[in-house]
Structure 1
Amino acid sequence: MNSISDPRGFGIYIHWPFCKAKCPYCDFNSHVRERIEEEAWRESYLKELSHFAAMVPGRTVTSIFFGGGTPSLMQPGTAEAVIDAVARTWRIANDIEITLEANPTSVETGKLREFRAAGINRISMGIQALNDADLKFLGRQHNQAEGLKALGLAAETFDRFTFDLIYARPGQTVAEWQAELTRALTFAADHISLYQLTIETGTVFEQSHARGDFELPSEDVQAELYELTADILGDAGMADYEISNYAKPGSESRHNLTYWRYGDYVGIGPGAHGRLTLEDRKMATRQHRAPERWLEMVATQGHATRQFDEVDREARIAELTMMGLRLAEGIPLARFEAESGRTFADCVDPVRVKRLTEAGFLELGDGWLKATQAGRQRLDAVLAELLG
């Protein structure tokens, strides 16, 4: 499992925990700070990277992902230092994908060319909506004009870029989403991420939704929006290779495919998660969540690892299943045995598989287990039934 040629890839995730403002729907580990000592952060990333490099030497890095938070707020020199350190530490795939999440405010888009010079070769832009009223509702710091301008600059600067939209917003009709999505596709290249608005625990939206300040579209409307999304993107030549992600063939996010295929990745930065295979043991890692505490721990001990636990056999099966069924390609049955030492039939109850297959939610054949589009549309319920 430590082979440098693992077809699932080997990724490096760097978490930048800061934002200009906290979006009301967001439950990510993001924080607002007036002042950031960037030199200290840069050095701490390199220290924690070095810690993990000693643990998993000899791998070939296929992707680096700067996530957050809003990593486009960092200085391009910080990204460059991390990329250079990765290249000095591990082998680098010839076609390595290096993604940075960005927001379309003028301050951040003004640095896109510098990020390109620093080694970033793919941008993921947080657009979220194409009208000012919904951008305000979502707590975004940009308006529609800034969002469209940022997409144009991304297209000029990078060979590969993607952007996010959130749908199933309060009051949104099927016709409105069809028009918005059709317009969005005129700015898209070969990849787009489309997320249904959900109410996450601990967010501002959880409180306001509980007070009755707004309502989400009904389940029937949400289902219609999901199906319409797949139809429109399919007609545009972008397959729904994952529940919320659409791409032209060959343009899928390589980094995220490593997650969904249950490959290994290093996670550095506050709250970052990782999965590392050491001999036959799968280790779950998680870094300390609070930014200042993380910085302090890295300064004193070279890393801020809060969790370093072995993932037992049953948990490996569950994680593999939960991640892999998000993908249209599904899960090769051989992967169950590779992760657990047991055959597929011994990993998952055949009676449950048969029941879900007959109901049209799963497909089993040709050495693969897949969720149908109907199954992926209600994947939480399918997983609850499948995994018991």
Structure 2
Amino acid sequence: MTVALRSLSAIRPYTPPAGDPGFGVYVHWPFCAAKCPYCDFNSHVRHEPVDQARFVAAFRRELATQAKRSGGETVTSIFLGGGTPSLMEPGTVGAILDEIASLWTVADGAEITLEANPSSVEADRFRGYRAAGVNRVSLGVQALNDVDLRRLGRLHDVSQALGAIRLAREIFPRLSFDLIYARPGQSVAAWEAEIRQAIGLAADHLSLYQLTIEEGTAFHALHKAGKLLVPDGELSAELYEATQQITLSHGLPAYEISNHAVPGAESRHNLTYWRYGLYAGVGPGAHGRLPGPDGARHAVANEKHPETWLRMVEDWDSGHVEDLPLALHEQADELMLMGLRLAEGMDLQRWQALSGRDLDPETVAELTRHGMIQRLGRDRIRATPAGMLVLDAVVADLA
């Protein structure tokens, strides 16, 4: 392990200066052992072993290309997502982190997260990731009963999930895990019991997502055919409200619509997105927000198909299929869409500087009167819990 990388495993969290959202690096590992029926992420199943050495070489080349664009940024967080990054060998993870450390200045105490599925968790592999510099794990648990895990297409059972949680708590300084609610046939009482169980298992962070039926997934086809029934809008709202109340009462308040943490344990990487910071995205299907040669912020997206991305990087040092400058008003729209997801709200002065205008006072007054938004002092505005339930509509009204 390099000296540069040793600093990446520091336990203490790094907090950028006030007003600085930080700079993140996202690495997408696109392979899974199986495709979940609700998942619309860029994930692919391969029945032959993946050539990890070849992919590492491509990640290095694309990281170098993006490092040239991002100037003198200091990396405050790294996120290895997917797909199933826990299918990577620890040496693969270490090589990628070493490359990042060689290309950028990495903040001492930077948050380094790896997503893992309980079915692919092994003690030696986890210890290898920790030795490579990973200091935070996000486990895709999704449910705490075996019937729903099978229905969700997960390859693990509850026993494996509990074992993975215990192991992660032993090895990593920080742990988060995901659960999905508004599952078919789920009652409010059953979900409340599951949240309480999850809080008892969690270290400092939970991601609690409402099941959405995404086009192109197996669940979408079943739902369209009337073979998959999910909670209606009223029941979904009750499940959401129960989520907020129970997590708050147990010391893990929502800091974003679906994310709950002990204060100080929020995901640094995701906060960089939601605070509208810059970030590099490498790997098949990864997205980024990077400065362009024209001085504008660019929306960058990669080729999704893994082997096509691989060949593109080998030929041209990049898998970009989109690299579009964002006009100031487009940046203002993105800032609002991201910022209003947060309990801390959106920086009004930054939005006004990008949009070149003030929020419409009549719209603000109406949304405030209906309990959808609230001001936090003079310079911030946020969605209320009621507004979070209809956030797309709130953003559309304001923007």
Matched with 1:234 is 248
The alpha carbon displacement at 1:331 in A equals 0.8
What is the rounded CA distance, in whole Å, between the counterparts of 1:280 and 1:242 in structure 2?
30
Whether the 8 Å CA contact 1:122–1:158 is kept in 2: the answer is yes
Q: Secondary structure at the match of 1:328?
A: coil
Aligned residues between the structures: 380
| 1:218 matched to 2:232 | yes
What is the rounded CA distance, in whole Å, between the counterparts of 1:384 and 1:52 in structure 2?
33
What is the rounded CA distance, in whole Å, between the counterparts of 1:383 and 1:126 in structure 2?
29
Matched with 1:369 is 381
The alpha carbon displacement at 1:354 in A equals 2.0
Q: TM-score, normalised by structure 1?
A: 0.95
| 1:120 matched to 2:134 | yes
1:1-388 maps to which residues of 2 (within 5 A)?
7-34=20-47, 35-108=49-122, 110-278=124-292, 280-340=295-355, 342-343=356-357, 345=358, 348-364=359-375, 365-387=377-399
Q: Secondary structure at the match of 2:207?
A: strand
Moved more, 106-115 or 365-374: 106-115
Runs (5+) with no aligned partner, structure 1: none
Whether the 8 Å CA contact 1:102–1:108 is kept in 2: the answer is no
The alpha carbon displacement at 1:17 in A equals 0.4
The alpha carbon displacement at 1:257 in A equals 0.2
Q: Secondary structure at the match of 1:275?
A: strand
Runs (5+) with no aligned partner, structure 2: 1-15
Q: Secondary structure at the match of 1:140?
A: coil
What is the rounded CA distance, in whole Å, between the counterparts of 2:295 and 2:346 in structure 1?
20
The alpha carbon displacement at 1:217 in A equals 1.1
Residues 106/285 of structure 1: CA separation in 2 closer, same or farther (3 Å cut): closer
State the AA in 2 paired with 1:335.
R
| C-alpha RMSD of matched pairs (Å) | 1.4
What is the rounded CA distance, in whole Å, between the counterparts of 2:198 and 2:324 in structure 1?
43
Whether the 8 Å CA contact 1:73–1:108 is kept in 2: the answer is no
Whether the 8 Å CA contact 1:67–1:101 is kept in 2: the answer is yes
Residues 9/331 of structure 1: CA separation in 2 closer, same or farther (3 Å cut): same
Whether the 8 Å CA contact 2:69–2:291 is kept in 1: the answer is no
Which consecutive segments of 4 or more residues in structure 1 shift more than 6 A? Answer: none
Moved more, 378-387 or 130-139: 378-387
Whether the 8 Å CA contact 1:103–1:109 is kept in 2: the answer is no
What is the rounded CA distance, in whole Å, between the counterparts of 1:315 and 1:349 in structure 2?
17
The one-character-per-residue Cα deviations of 1:75-115 (angstroms, maximum 9, x if unpaired) are 11111111111111111111200000000015555511111
Percent identical among aligned pairs is 52
The alpha carbon displacement at 1:318 in A equals 1.0
The one-character-per-residue Cα deviations of 1:278-319 (angstroms, maximum 9, x if unpaired) are 475111100111111100000011111111110112211111
What is the rounded CA distance, in whole Å, between the counterparts of 2:181 and 2:254 in structure 1?
16
State the AA in 1 paired with 2:396.
A
